[in-house]
Amino acid sequence: MEQAMIHVLLFPVPAQGHVRAMLKLADLLHASGFCVTFVNTERSHRRFLESSPPPERPRFRFRTIPDGLPDDDTWRRAAPAGLSADALTFLLFLELFESMRTRSREHYRELLVPADGGRDPDRWPPVACVLADSSVPLAFEVAEELKVPVMNVATNSACSIMAHLAIPELIKRGEIPFPEDADMDEPVRGVAGMESFLRRRDLPSSFREAKSLDDRHLQFRMTVNSNLVRGSALILNTEEHIDSLILPHIRHVCPVTYAPGPPHLLLKSMNCGGVDDTETSSANLFEVDRSCMAWLDSQPDKSVVYVSLGSITVISKETFLEFWHGLVGTGRPFLWVIRRGMVEGGMEVGEMIGDEADVDEAARQRGCFVGWAPQEEVLAHAAVGCFLTHCGWNSTLESMVAGVPMVGWPFFTDQHINSRFVSEVWKVGVDMKDLNGRSVVERMVREVMEGERAEEFRKNASEMALMVKRSSEEGGSSYTSFKNLIEHIKSLSS
Ligand code: UDX
């Protein structure tokens, strides 16, 4: 069979971080000659079309399925009172996965085996392989039922996957759930490769919040674990050098694990059919405000602190103000992404800082705020010297690709463990988790931007960026990994 006629279907979790990572993989497969169907939920796709319509391309199509959730926030009102923002977000995802499991099943089935017996109106060949986000149970269940080969795509970090895979061992050793009033700085034993530096507070939020073994989040993670070994391969959004500590342990459980990341570097270096930026998807669920690029042009090299807490995190006005004061206190210019609705109560920046009388006008002017930035371009800009990040995996990886040192302030999912890896494994920044207050923010940012340690972080970050770049070039590990992945997919359809 001609490679051009091999049809792959990608099915992500309908959330910014997941859709973006999977779309990049989709771009890469498309540029390598595959027919690509990208499944999105109707709600997520609507936002995507409004914010960054994808280019029209032959052999690349989007298909939408309902998510089954009501348009209002019924699920939120039905949630028990007093849940943390993390727990609420997780609850939303559980609702989503459950409703998709029942209400979207037939729509997805129809994409895999059209009701007319396979005579696709677009004359596309049947799906040869599903690349399913490991967090979407439906994606696996239907593909297996219909005997369509599945590969697993994990968009979160390898270190968090390893920690999740260790759940049975941690339970056996009595490490989880944590005892009442646990000392969060106690070391955790039982996660392969991480025993020398992992503390309770560094574990993913499913562990940190679980009160008992029946905890829904913990149980859900066990389901995702079983998905990880379900497919014929695991595809990670990482690269061999970045995760040299972890990948051998993951391969012990998932022997066929590919690490062809980060895809946008590969796209450039493979020059797949002369692909240019107009032929790839920018995958934004929010409208990008490019005005900050001109602002960055006017700042000195390596002077700016870029601040973004990703696409999901919500903070209180008090937290916002502590961070703002901390950033103002550094005396440095800063660029901060405040999404619409990101601060509880929907407050605007001007409203929040209006009453802070102790900060003069010149200091206020050092801050530039946008609703959504072109993050990869921002990180690549010469003016950016530090990334204050929630350590979502995409952001962490993008910062490493750009060689920008980080201050990690994690909120949930894999972010806690990613932030620990930033400081202890990659040594490209500091971990500010569970600390609060303006003086901490100021001190941490200074540590990453001034003095001897800052010099070391910059050096490590530049070396890391160079290694990652090399591995995406011909003969490099990511390049080779992607070629092997292509051969694997081809073998499934022969
Ligand atoms: C979520 C989880 O928070 C994260 O821990 C998990 O690893 C993936 O899913 P999210 O909060 O969206 O992701 O963070 P992240 O993974 O960092 O993804 C955010 C993406 O949005 C990045 O690719 C980033 O470049 C992009 N972004 C962010 C922008 O393009 N502009 C912005 O202003 C902010």
**pLDDT higher than threshold 80 for residue 79:** no
Q: For residue 341, how many other CB atoms are within 10 A of its CB?
A: 10
Query: Ligand 1 pocket: which of 311, 375, 379 to mutate (most atoms <8 Å of CB)?
Result: 311
Active site residues: 18, 133
CA of 103 to the centre of ligand 1 (A): 27
Per-residue pLDDT tens for 346-389?
Answer: 899 999 999 888 889 999 999 999 999 999 999 999 999 999 99
Going by alpha carbons, the residue nearest to atom 4 of ligand 1 is 392
> Residues lining ligand 1, judged by CB closer than 6 Å?
15-18, 20, 155-156, 284, 308, 310-312, 337, 372-373, 375-376, 392-395, 398, 413-415
Q: Tokens 């859709």 — which residue? A: 19
- Would the pLDDT of 2 be above 50? no
pLDDT tens column, 409-459: 999 999 999 999 999 999 999 999 999 899 999 999 999 999 999 999 999
Mean per-residue pLDDT, 249-271: 90
φ/ψ (deg, to 5) at 379: -65, -30
The residue type at 327: L
pLDDT-derived band at 6 (thresholds 50, 70, 90) equals very high
Contact between 30 and 152 under an 8 Å Cβ cutoff? The reply is no
Domains and CATH numbers, the chain: 3-284+472-492 (3.40.50.2000), 291-449 (3.40.50.2000)
Is the CB of residue 175 less than 8 Å from the CB of residue 189? yes
Q: Which of 115-119, 180-184, 249-253, 390-394 has the lowest mean pLDDT?
A: 115-119
Q: How far apart are CA 428 and CA 386, in angstroms?
A: 10
Q: Which atom of ligand 1 is nearest to the CA of 284?
A: 30
Residues 6+ apart with CB under 8 A from 84: 209
Q: What is the distance between the alpha carbons of residues 42 and 39, in angstroms, rounded to a whole number?
A: 9
Do the beta carbons of residue 488 and residue 257 sit within 8 Å? no
* Sheet of strand 150-154: strand arrangement: 60-65, 35-41, 7-11, 127-133, 150-154, 234-236, 257-258
What pLDDT, in 10s, does the model give residues 37-59? Answer: 999 999 889 988 888 888 888 99
User: Which residue lies with its CA nearest to atom 30 of ligand 1?
Assistant: 375
Q: What is the per-residue pLDDT across 266-286, written as a single tens digit (0 to 9) for each?
A: 988 776 545 555 556 667 778
242 band by pLDDT with thresholds 50, 70 and 90: very high
Count of Cβ atoms closer than 10 Å to residue 462 Cβ = 15
Question: What's the pLDDT score for residue 274?
Answer: 52
Which residues share a beta bridge with 199? Answer: 187
Kind and range of the H or E element at 61? strand 60-65
Closest ligand 1 atom to 379 CA: 25
